[in-house]
Every structure is written in structure tokens, then in C-alpha cells.
């Protein structure tokens, strides 16, 4: 059963969300109230997707966060030998498509409904507000996105953080620009390193090594509560060299 934390605030509901039963509307309604996010879209019409139909293809621009209301979706990539490699399975109550949104990048894989499915979605602008506008809402939103399962142990080849360098740089640069749009005077990314690790699908230890390298080079500042990109142009040049 997909569950998540309730939001803080004077009208917090006395239960933990059951995303499978409650769906997305209640979550976003309470998030908007708790974080004063008046700009969140009210247009959340379910989208029926027949079994075996694509939701998006690899290379498509990431414009929405998706939520499986009923049914199931899987994501896949085609290998160099033409084989389909399943990269994720998303049952009712699960979110998908957010890692490309984090980096402002195209989807790296194809999402397909494996049975008749009903999807709800959140536009990219609303995703940004939920993630960056209010720290308390952000923490709970991250936990809804990734669930409560611990991150898998990193393979030996990735354990030192080298494989994470480019996706981390892409994500930090994109979130930096998004945060500047929300708070031009202070582009502080109010995500903890642990939350950032969960969103990127890696362990806190692996992310910590990658952040430490960037911090030692004066490219970012990172604490237990936030990350700040100090030299975006230098970080962009470094990313392009990896």
C-alpha cells in the first residue's frame, strides 16, 4: 500500500496518506494550503491509457510528473543490441518521470502502460513549487515521490561517486535556475543531501562523495539542510568535461 506523510500546518489531517486510495488530489490540496502555494494548477483530469500504449518515449521533453492512479506502468530502454531493458515498474500509488524533470532533461527511457491505466499528472511548474518553494512541504513531497524504501547499495564502479557526477551537476544547475526564478535574491536549493540522494536514486554516501568533490573545488556549498551552487558557469564547464 502506497502511503506517505501528512503535511504540517494548522489544518493537518490526522492520518498518513494512502496514495492508492486517496489519489493525488488530496495530497496537492493539503500541500497548497500548508505551503501557501496558491499557484498550483486545479486542472487534474485523469488520463486513461490503454494497455501497451506509450505514455512518453525516450528523448521526449519532460514536462510533467506522473502519478499512477490505477493500473501499472513500466519504463524501459533499448540496449545497443536491440534488447528491451526494463528500468522501472510503477504500480498504483507510484510517481514516475521526475528524474528528467529534476535535470530539465529529456526522458532517458520510454514509459508504457502494461495494462489499462489511469494517470494523473503535475505540470513541471507545479513540480518546481512543490519541491523548492517551502522546505517543510518539500521534505514531505520528496518522501511521497520516493517512498520509504532505502536506496540500493551502489555498485563498486559507482561507489566513489564518479558515475553520479554528470547527473548531479545537471540536477544542481537546473534546480539553481528554477530556484532563482522563485527567489531571485537567494538561489538556495532547500533540499538536504539525503533528499537529493533519494531523488537521484543513489545512496547518501555516494552522493556525499560527489558533493565533497564539488565543494572542495569551490563549486557548491552543502549543509545538512541545503545546497547552494556558488559558481554555476564553472560547474557547467566541469560537467561538459565529464
pLDDT digits (tens, 9 = 90+) for 196-238: 999 999 999 999 999 999 999 999 999 999 999 999 999 999 9
Q: Is 90 exceeded by the pLDDT of residue 166? A: yes
Q: What pTM, to 2 d.p., does this model score? A: 0.83
* pLDDT value of residue 150: 43
Rounded Cα–Cα distance for residues 182 and 160 (Å) = 33
pLDDT tens for 64-113 read 999 999 999 999 999 999 999 999 999 998 899 999 999 999 999 999 99
Confidence of residue 133 (pLDDT cuts 50, 70, 90): confident
User: Domain spans of the chain?
Assistant: 3-42+134-146, 47-124, 160-241
Same fold, 47-124 and 160-241: no
Cell numbers found for residue 17: 496518506
Q: Is 80 exceeded by the pLDDT of residue 43? A: no
Please state which CATH class domain 47-124 belongs to: mainly beta
Cell numbers found for residue 93: 500509488
Asked whether the beta carbons of 47 and 118 are under 8 A apart, the reply is: yes
Mean pLDDT of 183-198: 92
Residues 6+ apart with CB under 8 A from 1: 18, 20, 93
Please state which CATH class domain 160-241 belongs to: mainly alpha
Residue that has been written with the C-alpha cell 557526477 in this structure: 165
Confidence of residue 4 (pLDDT cuts 50, 70, 90): low
Mean pLDDT of 9-24: 51
Pairing of strands 110-113, 72-78: antiparallel
Cell numbers found for residue 130: 512543490
Rounded Cα–Cα distance for residues 144 and 70 (Å) = 17
Phi and psi at residue 3, in whole multiples of 5°? -130, 165
Amino acid at each position: 500500500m502506497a502511503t506517505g506523510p501528512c503535511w504540517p500546518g494548522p489544518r493537518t489531517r490526522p492520518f498518513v496518506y494512502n496514495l492508492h486510495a486517496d489519489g493525488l488530489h488530496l495530497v496537492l490540496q493539503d500541500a497548497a494550503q500548508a505551503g501557501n502555494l496558491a499557484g498550483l494548477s486545479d486542472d487534474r483530469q485523469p488520463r486513461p491509457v490503454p494497455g501497451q500504449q506509450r505514455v512518453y518515449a525516450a528523448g521526449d521533453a519532460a514536462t510533467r510528473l506522473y502519478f499512477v492512479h490505477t493500473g501499472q506502468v513500466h519504463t524501459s530502454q533499448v540496449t545497443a543490441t536491440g534488447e528491451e531493458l526494463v528500468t522501472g515498474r510503477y504500480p498504483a500509488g507510484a510517481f514516475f518521470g521526475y528524474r528528467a524533470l529534476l535535470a530539465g532533461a529529456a526522458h532517458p527511457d520510454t514509459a508504457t502502460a502494461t495494462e489499462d491505466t489511469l494517470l494523473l499528472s503535475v505540470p513541471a511548474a507545479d513540480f518546481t513549487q512543490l519541491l523548492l518553494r517551502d522546505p517543510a512541504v518539500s521534505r514531505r513531497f520528496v518522501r511521497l515521490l520516493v517512498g520509504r524504501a532505502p536506496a540500493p547499495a551502489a555498485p563498486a564502479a559507482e561507489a566513489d561517486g564518479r558515475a553520479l557526477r554528470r547527473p548531479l551537476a545537471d540536477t544542481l544547475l537546473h534546480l539553481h535556475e528554477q530556484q532563482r526564478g522563485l527567489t531571485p535574491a537567494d538561489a538556495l536549493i532547500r533540499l538536504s543531501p539525503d533528499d537529493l540522494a533519494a531523488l537521484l536514486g543513489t545512496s547518501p554516501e555516494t552522493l556525499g562523495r560527489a558533493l565533497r568533490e564539488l565543494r572542495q573545488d569551490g563549486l557548491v556549498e552543502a549543509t545538512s539542510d541545503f545546497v547552494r551552487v556558488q559558481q554555476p558557469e564553472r560547474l557547467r564547464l566541469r560537467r561538459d568535461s565529464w
